[in-house]
Amino acid sequence: MIGKLYRLEMKETGRIAKIVYPLMIFITIAGVLFSLLNIPVLASFTNTISTLALTLCAFYLIVITVRNDYHNFQGKRGYLFRSIPAKSSEFLLSRLAYYITFLWGTTFIYIFLLMAQIELSSGAPIFLLVNVFLTQVLFASPWGIGLVIFILLSGLITVIALIFAIALGSEARFHRLGAGGPVLLYIIYYIASQLLTIASMLLIPLGIKMDLDPATGSFANFELVTEGTFRYFLDSLRANADPDHVVIGIGFIFTQILLALVMVILTYRSFDKKFSLRA
Amino acid sequence: MSLIEIRGLSKNYGHVRALDYLDLNVDGGRIVGLAGPNGSGKTTLLRILGAFDTAYSGDVSIDGLKPGRETRAITSYLPEKTALSDWMTADQAIAVYKDFFADFKEDRAREMLEFFKLEGSQKLRQMSKGMQEKVQIMLVMSRDARIYLLDEPISGVDPASRKSILRGIIGQAGEDSLVLVSTHLISDIEPVLDEIIFLDFGRVILHEQADKMRAERGQSLNEAFEEIYA
């Protein structure tokens, strides 16, 4: 059932993606071709325009992804989707898969095309640099792998927050706000999430201590410590913090996961119990 | 126990009361008209029965179950507006329904498509409003459901199409099934109704067997409707 729901939800946005993705490739190629003409003013102008157009295309598809999901479950298409005798969990998982496909997919394609455009038009070895960074820095240490996992987790939490905002923001109590309900919920989530992150970094006694390497001027010797950023923060306020030894609290990882779990539970409960189709 | 049992059902939209302590029992095996002026609560009642609105107070039971996932499997709902995307063809819509509803009968859908003289390969956006309505009816009535909830199935279509749509509805509903049709076009639907429910200000003001009502009042349902809501 999850696969069927996923395919059904993919159809609507997929039709637009079939146009937007090739358009993004066309924009990149056109931008590169113009810059290869080596006409100084025109080259920089077309570079700017194609980067802007590429960004607009990616942004448009991301907006369409969210809008279509909203229409599938709150708009007139809700009469089809909501009549399907699937479990709430099946709906949620298929929506997660749908968002991951388009939000992550669009982001990946956008970054890839942007890198290609820079490399082909300027000759800068962007792909080589990224490859070196990925293989020799990011995936070369457990800290780097941890960072990658955290980025993926953040992407997943963003998707959960979107579904949460659409589900709870569309409850009967927010009907008078129209589509503003989900927007309001997302803003509330965002502010709450930021405050929670700051509080967790400061107060939860778990952090990474980083020592400044005077020779290179960059941080080295990462060490896990049972300390948050609070003491370092206070020292900074008193202007006696040691700039060579910084502690970054990572307790926010746990509170963000907890927040995501709470959003999943609330969305699950809202899906069937407090629901009122708007169309 | 009736197929649909409702006790003290209330629903507000902000300060507007759409349903007001509504009580109702409806049994299966009949075609029931749900009539009333605009804003009387017809669509709201059908949406609650179809599990498209769970934010209400009171008790609603469909075959002993609260409207939700289980009742969706036995309820086929026709919304007032088409729920399908306009780029879809009738064939694609049939494929979607076949995929999701275990009780969907493709043979029946094909028969109805032929009966309505529709092309399976034609996109909805290329169809007239009446044709789109027929596609929706074809999909909804091709399910072997216990309950069919039809919200204004003949409004906005020409009189010839109305008759064809009604024939499509009557021809497909099973003997034990309940067809609950909301309308304000009583005269068109009157010949097929077994029962009539009149709603006003979110309450049932009359619920009667169609034949009994005609005999007792000496007037058609349409005349009664016009008299009651005058």
pLDDT digits (tens, 9 = 90+) for A29-73: 988 888 877 777 777 788 888 889 999 999 999 999 988 988 888
Residue (of B81, B32, B18) closest to B198 by Cα position: B32
The token duo for B48 is 């609650």
Query: pLDDT category, A279, cuts 50, 70, 90?
Result: low
CA distance B81 to chain A (A): 7
**Interface contact B69-A79, CB threshold 8 A:** no
All residues of chain B having their beta carbon less than 8 Å from the beta carbon of residue A69 are none
Among the ranges given (A110-119, A197-206, B154-163, B215-224), the one the predictor scored with the smallest mean pLDDT: B154-163
Q: Which of the four pLDDT bands, split at 50, 70 and 90, describes residue B28?
A: confident
Residues of A within 8 A of B81 (CB-CB) are: 76, 79, 279
> Using CB atoms, which residue from B54, B75, B77 is nearest to A272?
B54
Cα dist from B93 to B82, B104, B126, whole Å:
12, 12, 15
Closest CA–CA distance from residue A74 to any residue of chain B (Å): 10
Partner A, chain B 34-63, Cβ-Cβ below 8 Å? 47, 50-55
Between B170 and A102, the higher pLDDT residue: A102
Band of the pLDDT at A97, cuts 50, 70, 90?
A: very high
Reduced to 3 states (helix: H, G, I; strand: E, B; else coil), residue A142 is: helix
Interface contact B99-A4, CB threshold 8 A: yes
Instruction: Tell me, yes or no, if A76 comes closer than 8 A to chain B by beta carbon.
Output: yes
CA neighbours within 13 Å on the CB side: how many for B46? 29
Quote the mean pLDDT of chain B: 87
**pLDDT for the residue A117:** 87
Has residue A14 got a pLDDT over 70?
Answer: yes
Site of tokens 């107060």: A203
A82–chain B Cβ distance below 8 A for any pair: yes
SS3 B5: strand
A268-277, B184-193, B212-221: segment of lowest average pLDDT: A268-277
Select the residue of A85, A86, A279 nearest B81 (Cβ to Cβ): A279
- % of residues, chain A, pLDDT over 90: 27
Q: How far is A169 from chain B (nearest CA, A)?
A: 14
Per-residue pLDDT of B1-16, as tens digits, reads 888 999 999 998 878 8
* B87 in reach of chain A (CB within 8 A): yes
**Of the listed ranges A66-75, A202-211, A218-227, B62-71, the one predicted with least confidence:** A218-227
Tell me if chain B has a CB within 8 Å of the CB of A69.
no
Q: Given this model, what pLDDT does residue B75 score?
A: 92
Q: What percent of chain B has pLDDT over 70?
A: 100
Residues in chain A with CB shorter than 8 Å from the CB of B53 are 172, 275-277
C-alpha to C-alpha distance for B187 and B155, rounded to whole angstroms: 12
Q: Which residue of A has its CA nearest to B68?
A: A272
Contact A82 B51 (CB under 8 A): yes
Residue in B170, B183, B97, B204 with CA at minimum distance from that of residue B140 = B97
Tens digits of residue pLDDT in B112-146: 888 888 888 899 999 888 888 888 888 998 898 99
Contacts with A86 from chain B: Cβ below 8 Å: 69, 100
Please tell me the distance from the alpha carbon of residue A275 to that of residue B31, in angstroms, as a whole number: 28
- Residue written as token pair 């997302």: A186
pTM (predicted TM-score): 0.81
Nearest-angstrom CA–CA distance, B78 and B72: 12
Comparing B163 with B136, the larger pLDDT belongs to: B136
* Averaged pLDDT score across all residues of chain A: 86
What is the 8-class DSSP label of residue A233? H
Report H helices in A75-171. 78-81, 88-99, 105-122, 126-132, 142-169
CA–CA separation, B208 and A44 (whole Å): 78
Q: Residue A245: which of A216, A215, A214 has the closest Cα? A: A214
B54 and A87: CB-CB below 8 Å?
A: no
Which chain A residue has the Cα nearest residue B87? A12
On whether the CB atoms of residues B35 and B198 are closer than 8 A, the answer is yes
Residues of B in contact with A173 (CB under 8 A): 55
List the one residue out of A34, A47, A73, A38 whose CA is nearest residue A166.
Answer: A73
Asked whether the predicted pLDDT for residue B228 surpasses 90, the reply is no
Q: How far is A131 from chain B (nearest CA, A)?
A: 43
- What span, in angstroms and rounded, lies between the C-alpha atoms of B140 and A198? 52
- Chain B residues closer than 8 Å to A178 by CB: none
Residues of A in contact with B62 (CB under 8 A): none
ipTM score of the complex?
0.86
